[in-house]
Structure 1
Amino acid sequence: MDPRLGLVGTILIAILGGGVAAFAGMPAAWLSGAMIAVTAASLAGWDTRLPPRLVDFAYLLIGTALGCGVTPELLSGALAWPLSLLGLAITVAAVIVAVRVFLTRVAGWDRDTAFFSAVPGALSFVLAMASESDADIRKVATSQSIRVFLLVAVLPGLIVAVETDPPLPAVVPEGSLAHTVLMIVAAAVVGLLFRRLGVPSGLLTGSFMASALLHGSGLVSGAPPAPLVVLAFVLLGALVGSRFAGTSLRFVAGILAASIGAFLVATAIAGLMAVGVARIIGVPIDQAIVAYAPGGLDAMMSLSLALNMDTAFVAAHQFARFAGIAIALPFVVPKRRIAIRVDTSGKED
């Protein structure tokens, strides 16, 4: 098969999968839908490999978009809840440790795979970093997807029966063309610098930090155009799906029990910490539970609005968790566990 035909076909399959998922209202629709569709294509024997430059472009856009959640308003709001944010940091660390222990000692997973599968949230960032480690990205992607699915499916019912509301507008509005260009240029410069310095997932990490600094300082505002962000998630979903060649339903069934167990461990820790913090600082327990939820930022924001919660409180905590993971993750993964190798697609791993 002509590689160009394979690439065009893969992207079209990814877009179709993401579009169907978005129409169905799935969380992280363009990422998860593209991943599922390309996974199916991989299992069917389609050449789904992506060229390295296209993958780099996706990482650059994703990192830039992730940093848009860091705004002066959220930074100011975070200062009003120091104890709650401290509790959140402890919760995230506890979840990672506990789930990793569960997956290694109970489920028998290797350390790298268990570690990345234990990180509660920042799915695109985790998958990008996992793809550059010795982790089994199939297990990481599948277990993380199961966690988000269960979280979104179970949490609303545990709090209250909520009627379906119209989709929320983007949390961060689209920025001007000038701000978008500045964000992407700064992200590219810092990302390439981080890669040159050997920072794990340097392009993704650097682009996120550059965008976060620009937004947090108030120098720019708004997110990149939605089509660019959607394209980035479609490409990352296609990248993850291209790693599933040879995977069968038996594989999914084989990790389902471990993934559900990891979900129960994570939600139990997050729920207990949320209840404790809520009693100490005097916020509603259900609001704290949504704020402390281990992942599903977009779904948790929708739930907080539907339940008339303090959306600023929920947003500050969800973005703090997301940003904290994105900033800290590259530096808590020992560099000796990051292997640089070239696969058949030419992408650095």
Structure 2
Amino acid sequence: MNTLAGGLFFSLLCLLAAGLSGALLSHVGMPLGWFFGALLSAALLQRYRPAWRIHDAVRDLARITLGVLIGASFAPDIFSRLAQFWLLTPLVLLYTGGMLLVGSGFFRRYAHFDRRTAFFSAIPGGLTEMLTFSTQVGADTRAIVVTHLTRFVVIMAGISLISSIAERPAEFAAVPATPLTLAGAGWLLACGLAGGLMARALRIRLGLLLFPLLLSAGVHAAGLTAPASSPALLALCQMVIGLVSGSKLSGLRQGSTRDLLVAAGFWALLLFVLTLAAAAGGTTLMDQSLLTLLLAVIPGGITEISVLALALGADMTLVMTAQLSRQVGILLFIQLFLHRMAASPAAGDEPPGGKQP
């Protein structure tokens, strides 16, 4: 069995396991059952069947599909709605920077991290990207893996809890269920193919989600297709993203110590509470639900947050504007930090108060 065939075979086995657990959780009424069923399946498979994992080609296809589905959920007035959220970008940048400063200080003072490790543990970016940058500056990657994965677990659990109790506004109570026409399906397929090729050509990892999203949104803004959804495709995307996310959780078991887990868990809980409070405050300023604003400002992976927001029927224009603004802010803060490190590489290397756990 060649590598591609073997990878696709194991991907199919993973999807079958995720489908069974996702169907069970959805049947009992758990919010985001397909996603969390897949996540739990992946965590168990990593322990007992580590060879069973989603192939990169399947993962990339799910990201492209998710981007197309998000774009397909936008209404033709997307550009006028974007103009309404002009204040959102600076607010998200300020909030992201503030939480980064607080988190870095927390890990420096209470977890005794050096400044490199504290910075990359506190910044709310994707784990893969943070490991790439942190390795370049000699940070403790073990601590970074544990803090990011702990944050992921707490945030996913928190979103599940809030989604089960928070009220959703009527206009976003569910994803639009307009059936796809043959012409509409053709346009969306073209958006997916073109967006995927653009991402490959430009070698932009986020492009697999972003380019199909922009093309699909443009098609809908031009009135070439009507807003549409595919519950089956959305459930499949939830399962693939859940499987990919769950496969990373083995890093918690491999790199954890009690003190490190306590510090990471405390910060993750504090971050979620502060973000929930910020979202609650935002409901007094914007005509949006608590759940939508929480998904907009929550510091999670953009792929995971996107699929959850789409599944929960949130206002995708607002959520994606905020999440993409956060990604821009993260890249900006990383570049500023690396510039500062280059200017004074030895300053603050020793953690205050002792060694790292």
Count of aligned positions: 308
Aligned to 1:89: 92
TM-score of the aligned structures, taking structure 2 as reference length: 0.65
Letter in 2 for 1:265: L
Letter in 2 for 1:225: S
Quick one: structure 1 residues 197 and 5, their matched pair in 2 at CA, closer, same or farther if it must change by over 3 Å? closer
1:204 to 201, 206, 209: 209
CA RMSD of aligned residues (A): 4.6
The question of 1:8 aligning with 2:12 is answered yes
Shift, 1:20, TM fit: 2.5
Letter in 2 for 1:89: V
2:188 to 166, 183, 189: 183
Separation (CA, whole Å) in 1 of partners of 2:204 and 2:274: 33
Aligned to 2:322: 321
Separation (CA, whole Å) in 2 of partners of 1:93 and 1:102: 14
1:253-281 CA distance string (max 9 Å, x none): 75365245234235425635763783xx5
How do residues 100-111 of structure 1 correspond to structure 2 at under 5 angstroms?
100-101=103-104, 104-105=107-108, 106-107=110-111, 108=113, 111=119
Separation (CA, whole Å) in 2 of partners of 1:269 and 1:245: 26
SS in 2 for 1:72: coil
How do residues 271-282 of structure 1 correspond to structure 2 at under 5 angstroms?
271-272=277-278, 275=281, 278=284
Letter in 2 for 1:10: C
Does structure 1 conserve the Cα–Cα contact (< 8 Å) formed by 2:38 and 2:243? yes
Aligned to 1:150: 158
Separation (CA, whole Å) in 1 of partners of 2:28 and 2:250: 26
Does structure 2 conserve the Cα–Cα contact (< 8 Å) formed by 1:45 and 1:245? no
Identity of aligned residues (%): 18
Aligned to 1:62: 66
Q: Which runs of 5+ in 2 are unaligned?
A: 136-140, 299-304, 339-357
Separation (CA, whole Å) in 2 of partners of 1:203 and 1:131: 20
Shift, 1:47, TM fit: 1.8
Please tell me whether Structure 1 or Structure 2 has the larger radius of gyration of its CA atoms. Answer: 2
Shift, 1:168, TM fit: 4.4
Does structure 2 conserve the Cα–Cα contact (< 8 Å) formed by 1:66 and 1:208? yes
SS in 2 for 1:248: helix
TM-score of the aligned structures, taking structure 1 as reference length: 0.66
The question of 1:238 aligning with 2:219 is answered no
Separation (CA, whole Å) in 1 of partners of 2:279 and 2:173: 28
Does structure 1 conserve the Cα–Cα contact (< 8 Å) formed by 2:75 and 2:227? no
Quick one: structure 1 residues 262 and 215, their matched pair in 2 at CA, closer, same or farther if it must change by over 3 Å? farther
Does structure 1 conserve the Cα–Cα contact (< 8 Å) formed by 2:178 and 2:228? yes
Separation (CA, whole Å) in 2 of partners of 1:230 and 1:210: 22
1:156-204 CA distance string (max 9 Å, x none): 87x8xx79x9x94325644333223312322221222222212233322
The question of 1:214 aligning with 2:219 is answered yes
Separation (CA, whole Å) in 1 of partners of 2:327 and 2:228: 17
SS in 2 for 1:147: helix
